[in-house]
Amino acid sequence: MNFKLLNSKLLTLLCSGIIIGAKPVYSQSETLKISENKRFFEDQEGKPFFWLADTGWLLFNRLTREEADRYLTDRQQKGFNVVQVMVVQALRTVNVYGDSALVNHALGMPKVTDGNAFENEEQYDYWDHVDYIVGKASEKGIKIGMVPIWGNAVKNGKTSAAQAKAYAQFLARRYRDRPNIVWINGGDIQGDVVPDIWEAIGGTLRAEDPYHLITFHPFGRMQSSKWFHDRDWLDFNMFQSGHRTYAQDVGAKDLRYGEDNWRYVEADYARAPVKPVLDGEPSYENIWHGLHDKTLPVWTADDVRRYAYWSVFAGACGFTYGNNGVMQMRYARDPKLPSWEEAIHDPGAGQMIHLKTLILSKPYFERVPDQSLIAENGERYDRLIATRGEDYAFIYTWNGRDMKINLGKVGGTTVNASWYDPRTGETKVLGTIENKGIKTFNPPGEVRNGNDWVLVLEK
């Protein structure tokens, strides 16, 4: 067979829009849009959408349809409304049924077959399988954050901008009528590495799909805004605060802000034009400090909560949780490491809903970061983070130390004060206090890392 001729014909057909895949037509009423103040997400009816994502990076590749159903059901029950997924991890990617994503490992030629074989496992097509999971996620109210191609798959120079454009055109035409898509360009890579690829994907997605939001997932300790903030195709900023500790950052070439993920939010919050921002990959629960050295401790649910509350209270429009076993959809081959089916029940995943519940319990679109609430602050793990609306304020401590707070920042001559527990979502009422001056609040429990609380002040 003349594969060179075949590849040429397929690329021509793809670019002309003939090979787009069979798909149903969906309403756009469920797609996300940017809020009027450009800080947050909302649905088509103007209702708040707080991004609470899980990194299910290899969902399309490693799970069967039955397993995908179980995973999505669990995430729905735990309050997640987004799952971030690699569409193609590598040019040789195959799914759990052994079907390839691409013809001849060429990005510009997705391997599409006729029909939509949902019933006969022997006929499962890679893209039909993606369709199925996207549809199931939609049924459960979950958006799919689609990363078209992971960074490592294209930085070796074996993919051209023309192939990337053809591939992005294929994706956009296949999924632009699906209501639950968010495009995540890049994939753990710097924007100035093969930049023509990322510009081709971002620009083509925007030209072909005017409905869905687009962002960029960068390398660790970096922000999408560093390269693409002014691009028309970038609707919101994403940063990866990464997996290293403060100590592991010593001597790094691009130190940035270390574990202080709130600093990334502050930097992007101040940029013009205004765009929403969120931490798209903080330290994963149950992964080793720095990722690879298994002799080191692992990040815990306590650390996950710190990243979540720090970034959201600093002004982020949501948060992405991650788990070592879940992000790679690990099977139970190593008795020392939990499988994805065990890891989905790790405590941090179940605690994320309490942040979402708290944020949505008060007027959403008026919320702003406000560090002027804090009369005396600390560094690193002693840092207090404050956010407020007109008649309420939330102040977070990760270690339960005393909090000196400037009152009078929210409405009312008096305020109701309470403690909100990020581990359980329970509230401990303190009572009504005069809304002026500086007051010291002593959180429950002893001072230690992970004894985190939110002080809630309400008019």
Among the candidates 338, 360, 382, a domain finishes at 360
Q: What value does the mean pLDDT take over residues 24-36?
A: 71
Model confidence pLDDT, tens digit, residues 287-333: 999 988 989 999 999 999 999 999 999 999 999 999 999 999 998 76
On the question of pLDDT at 255 being above 70, the answer is no
* Assigned domain for 241 exists: yes
Is 407 found in the same domain as 454? yes
* Assigned domain for 106 exists: yes
Q: What residue numbers bound the domain in which 106 lies?
A: 30-360
Is 104 found in the same domain as 216? yes
Among the candidates 325, 360, 395, a domain finishes at 360
Among the candidates 292, 327, 360, a domain finishes at 360
Res. 77 pLDDT band, cuts 50 70 90: very high
On the question of pLDDT at 15 being above 90, the answer is no
* Assigned domain for 7 exists: no
* Assigned domain for 430 exists: yes
Is 418 found in the same domain as 343? no
* Assigned domain for 175 exists: yes
Between 136 and 334, residue with greater pLDDT = 136
CATH number at residue 383: 2.60.40
Is 356 found in the same domain as 403? no
Is 293 found in the same domain as 415? no
Is 275 found in the same domain as 311? yes
* pTM given for the model: 0.91
* Residue in this structure with the two tokens 């001056």, named with its chain if needed: 437
- pLDDT the model gives residue 6: 39
Is 399 found in the same domain as 269? no
Is 208 found in the same domain as 188? yes
Count up the domains in the chain and report the number: 2
Is 431 found in the same domain as 342? no
Model confidence pLDDT, tens digit, residues 42-65: 999 999 999 999 999 999 999 999
Is 176 found in the same domain as 55? yes
Question: In this prediction, what percent of the chain has a pLDDT beyond 70?
Answer: 90
* Assigned domain for 180 exists: yes
* Assigned domain for 414 exists: yes
Is 340 found in the same domain as 395? no
Is 439 found in the same domain as 340? no
On the question of pLDDT at 253 being above 80, the answer is no
